Structure 1
Amino acid sequence: MSFPTHIVSAGGIVEDSEGNILLVKTRDGGWVYPGGQVEVGENLIDALVREIKEESGITTTVSYLVGVYSNTGSFKWYDGVTDVPTQVIFDFVCKPVGGQLAVSEETTESRWVAKDQALSFITHPAIRTRYQAYLEFDGMVNYMEYVTHPQFTIKHQTSMSK
């Protein structure tokens, strides 16, 4: 028997007490809110806290889930060789509890940006769409299926409640 391969990731929309959002500038993809892949044996929340700290220098707590996303498109990684499998991504709102802005091997800059100005920094269509869903969050968790290659296309979208 063979099991499917998926990438499980988490994104952290970190809100400070002044209404700013934490953004990081990645080496490959421009400005985004921090997050990344869950490692083998790691839980989703620990992975998100680790990724935010690694990419930005900021220590956080995870507050609540705002969206679940599936990138079901097939495409090559930045190296042009590696096939990227389906990605399942969970976006959470987080609160900063310590640390100082920093950069990493993956990021070249990190900064706090006014919540309503963040979209002027974020250029990646999937990240922009997910951030817009956060801005419109009304307590209903957003679910969206999309593909990013050859172009960004939303295939399915719905909101979920109990």
Structure 2
Amino acid sequence: MAFPTHIVAVGGIVEDGHGNILLVKTRDGGWVFPGGQVEVGENLIDALSREIKEESGINTTVSHLIGIYSNTAIHKWYDGVTDVPTKLMLDFVCKPVGGELSVSDETTDSRWVARDQVLDLITAPAIRTRFRAYLDFDGTTTYMEYVTKPEFQIKNRTGVSR
């Protein structure tokens, strides 16, 4: 029997207290809020803090969970052979506590963007949808299943009460 394989990832919507959101520009995916895969043996909060620091140079504290997402698209990896596993993503609101804006091997730019201008920069449909869930957050955590291939499509959406 094979155990199911999932990629677990975290995303951080970093608010600076002045109405600005931290965005990073990836080398291949455009503007996004920072985040990435949880490494083996790493907890979610440490993974998120590490990813934000690596991608943007900003140190953060994690505040609260706002969204849980499953990307259940079935497609092949870049090698054309390997199946890409289901991706489970958890988005949290974070607060900056220091650091300096910088870039990394994965990013070409990082900046603070006015909250009402964020969607002008983010073009990826899944990231836009997840950011809208942050804008609409009313204390109820969103759960959403979507696929990104062959095109973005929401399959299931529900609220999960605290």
TM-score by length of 2: 0.96
Query: For the residues of structure 1 that align with 2:83 and 2:15, how far apart are their CA atoms?
Result: 34
1:21 aligned partner, one-letter code: I
Give the secondary structure class of the aligned counterpart of 2:108: strand
Offset at 1:80? Answer: 5.0
| RMSD of aligned residue pairs (Cα, Å) | 1.0
Offset at 1:102? Answer: 0.4
1:96 aligned partner, one-letter code: P
Q: Corresponding residue for 1:44?
A: 44
1:129 aligned partner, one-letter code: T
TM-score by length of 1: 0.96
Give the secondary structure class of the aligned counterpart of 1:134: helix
Percent identical residues: 73
Summarize the Cα distance change of 1:70–1:94 in structure 2 as closer, same or farther, 3 Å threshold: same
Number of residue pairs aligned between Structure 1 and Structure 2: 161
Offset at 1:28? Answer: 1.2
Offset at 1:84? Answer: 1.8
Which blocks of at least 5 consecutive residues in structure 1 are unaligned?
none
Q: Corresponding residue for 2:24?
A: 24
Q: Corresponding residue for 2:60?
A: 60
Which blocks of at least 5 consecutive residues in structure 2 are unaligned?
none
Offset at 1:83? Answer: 3.2
1:160 aligned partner, one-letter code: V
Give the secondary structure class of the aligned counterpart of 1:120: helix
Cα deviations by residue, 1:33-56 (Å, 9 ceiling, x for unpaired): 000000000000100000000000
Q: Corresponding residue for 1:153?
A: 153
Cα deviations by residue, 1:122-150 (Å, 9 ceiling, x for unpaired): 00000000000100000000000000000
Query: For the residues of structure 1 that align with 2:27 and 2:52, how far apart are their CA atoms?
Result: 15
Query: For the residues of structure 2 that align with 1:61 and 1:158, how far apart are their CA atoms?
Result: 27
